[in-house]
Amino acid sequence: MPKDLKSVLAALDAHEPVSLLGLRETQWIDAKVGPYQLADPKAVEELAKDVAAFANGGGGVIVIGIGTRLEHDEEVLDRIVGLDPAAVNVDQIRKLIRQWITPAPRGVRVGWSGADGGRVLFIEVPAQAVDTLFVVPAPVGKPGSPRTDTVAVPMRDGDGTHWLPRTEIQQLLSAGVRALGMPTAQALTELVRQAVSEAGPGGGLRVGQGLPDREREMRAAYEQLAEAGLGQPAGEAWAQGSADLQDLDHERDGEPGWVLCLVAGHPPVAVAVPVWQAIVDAGRHAPGQDPLTAIGFPRPPQGTETPWVIAADSRSVDLDGGSWGAGRLTCSGRGVWRWQPLPRFSLDQGRSAEIGTSGQTPALRLRAVVNLPWADPGALEISRPRRTLLEQQLPYSAVAGAVTMLSRRRGADLPAARWERGPFGNSARTVGYTCTIVGPDGGPALTASVMLALPTTMQSTVVACSEVMIESPEAWAAVLGPGWDTQLGLDEVQAVLLSTWETAAELLPDVVGDPAGLSWAAPPTTELRMTCEQPADNGVLPDLHTLVDLAPLGTNDRGTRSRMAVTITAAPAMGRAERQSLLREALVHMAREFGYVDAGVDLL
């Protein structure tokens, strides 16, 4: 069990909030069972009070989503309640902290810890400068902006927070007067004049205020972008990851405000608040991460080297990519924003790569596995009507067409018309069907199968799989008739992988509803695999080239292999021509990584 603030923060960063259970609330940790209800002014006042108290008391952490029990008049962290990230606006929490606390405490971190069902939110308040006192508006509990003509000082005392008494505030003010002298009316007038001058037209906060080292650069960016309608600052500037940010009003009342965003290596950008909120919302479901850390910041159009603007009516925003990698946020005609990754390739294989293969040993397996990390998948269900619809569609699916194509190219008409349940099992959480071309001896010659599985304790994403297997080249040859070669050409492999990918990405996800209405919790990926799995008499797996003609790829400088695979990070749904082009690029990437250094798209 963690014993101090440093070890508590380490446990939270390791996504192990359960290790905090048994701790007592102290000077540096406070637990709350539910989130601040920010629509309630009293809850906003409580948030500001709690954070400012830790800033005045040497730092600490607020953990939200953990219930407590009373033990010997002390609150003990007792159980993980968990929070739904969709119900918590982390960006608004940060903004309110900056808006309500003067000065805004430096380095405050708001993040997620834990996994689905046991996720908690934490607000880390680092130790601040010892000569700084943090104040908030005196509580009024009424709607509206914080009053600027009142002040209160929250302090952390043991496991509780209290207001500094008026007498002690008076003593602090008196100490300042004794040290500096009572300001004259003329001195006060000069201070006000100077503050207004520094703030610029309209008074109030300065552009860049809160980030002294970047204030000049932010002011220069503001002046270059002012013609877009940038108004006065709505709060202090703050740093987040690689970006320096500040909320700005619009120069015209009633128009959406702006977020001024400076990211190293990019020209400054002013983002309209509705678009900025769409960016934050798109990354909100990233487990254990700040949304912007996951999704990244706006990336300028190619060739843009001067400050630019993303207006409220924009319909597309490129993002440089945080932990999710580069992506694009687009707005549909219905005004719904959706993030999709920009396509890229790797050899990374996930836990689902060999899902459903236990006990199977086909001679050749051509497989597409689509990983769909949808947010809140626990609410998904495979209904009976959708299962029935899938049964009706499978004989006409792309993967069924691939099976028929392989046979017709060899002079036989063996349609994949009969699909049976299994062998993966069917339930409200899984669906699986198989079509088998039977050999003369009654054994399987050629098999096609599909499967979709909702998340389990071992698998956190929705997995859709479609594959074609040559179970026995000899049995297939017997079905085809004499004289036909069962080795596949590389063009046939492409056609089969394209069909299995299309089936897994487009047809199978429909069994849970409308995929277009679901948000991502991580980038979706597709794993394409070619594997020989039936050992020879000596127990050694055969080389791929014995079952697939790999000659068009050229010479292999690393020796032959029994399996090759590639992972594509891309949106599951796309046009067939786009999918075909992406498939060819992916196969070239795979071939080169596996030693076919001369492989090129023109050879496929």
What range defines the domain where residue 109 resides? Answer: 5-180
Residue 292 lies in a domain: yes
565-604, pLDDT tens digit by residue? 999 999 999 999 999 999 999 999 999 999 998 888 876 6
Residue 532 lies in a domain: yes
383 and 526 both lie in a single domain: yes
Nearest to 229 by CA among 303, 288, 313, 164: 313
Number of domains in the chain: 3
Q: Determine the distance from the C-alpha atom of residue 88 to the mean position of all C-alpha atoms in its chain, rounded to a whole number.
A: 15
Distance CA 112, CA 71 (A): 27
Residue 530 lies in a domain: yes
pLDDT of residue 146: 54
Nearest to 416 by CA among 397, 429, 435, 432: 435
Contacts (Cβ under 8 Å, ≥6 apart) of 435 = 394, 400, 403, 416, 417, 418, 419, 420, 447, 448, 449
588 neighbors 601 (Cβ within 8 angstroms): yes
337 and 349 both lie in a single domain: no
336 and 350 both lie in a single domain: no
Residue 191 lies in a domain: no
Residue 359 lies in a domain: yes
355 and 421 both lie in a single domain: yes
350 and 427 both lie in a single domain: yes
> What's the sign of the alpha-carbon dihedral 573, 575, 577, 578?
negative
Q: Which contacts of 90-97 are long-range, i.e. CB under 8 A and separated by 24 or more positions? A: 90/121, 90/280, 90/284, 90/290, 90/291, 91/277, 91/280, 91/291, 92/38, 93/36, 93/38, 93/47, 93/123, 94/238, 94/240, 95/235, 95/247, 96/38, 96/44, 96/47, 96/48, 97/47, 97/48, 97/51
427 neighbors 405 (Cβ within 8 angstroms): no
Residues of the chain with pLDDT under 70: 140-150, 177, 180-204, 457-459, 603-604
490 and 358 both lie in a single domain: yes
322 and 387 both lie in a single domain: no
Instruction: Please tell me whether residue 110 adopts helix, strand or coil conformation.
Output: strand
356 and 400 both lie in a single domain: yes
Residue 402 lies in a domain: yes
66 neighbors 79 (Cβ within 8 angstroms): yes
123 strand-pairing partners: 62, 110
| Concatenated DSSP letters of 37-87 | -TTSHHHHHHHHHHHHHHHHTT-EEEEESEEEEEETTEEEEEEE----GGG
* Beta-strand pair 60-64/29-32: parallel
98-136, pLDDT tens digit by residue? 888 888 888 888 888 988 778 999 999 998 888 788 888
Helix (H) or strand (E) holding 97: helix 90-100
Residue 122 lies in a domain: yes
278 and 416 both lie in a single domain: no
Residue 481 lies in a domain: yes
368 and 260 both lie in a single domain: no
451 neighbors 352 (Cβ within 8 angstroms): no
* Beta-strand pair 66-71/74-80: antiparallel
134 and 232 both lie in a single domain: no
The CATH number for 120's domain is 3.30.950.30
Nearest to 531 by CA among 501, 558, 564, 568: 564
Contacts (Cβ under 8 Å, ≥6 apart) of 454 = 377, 380, 381, 382, 429, 430, 462, 512
514 and 547 both lie in a single domain: yes
pLDDT of residue 184: 60
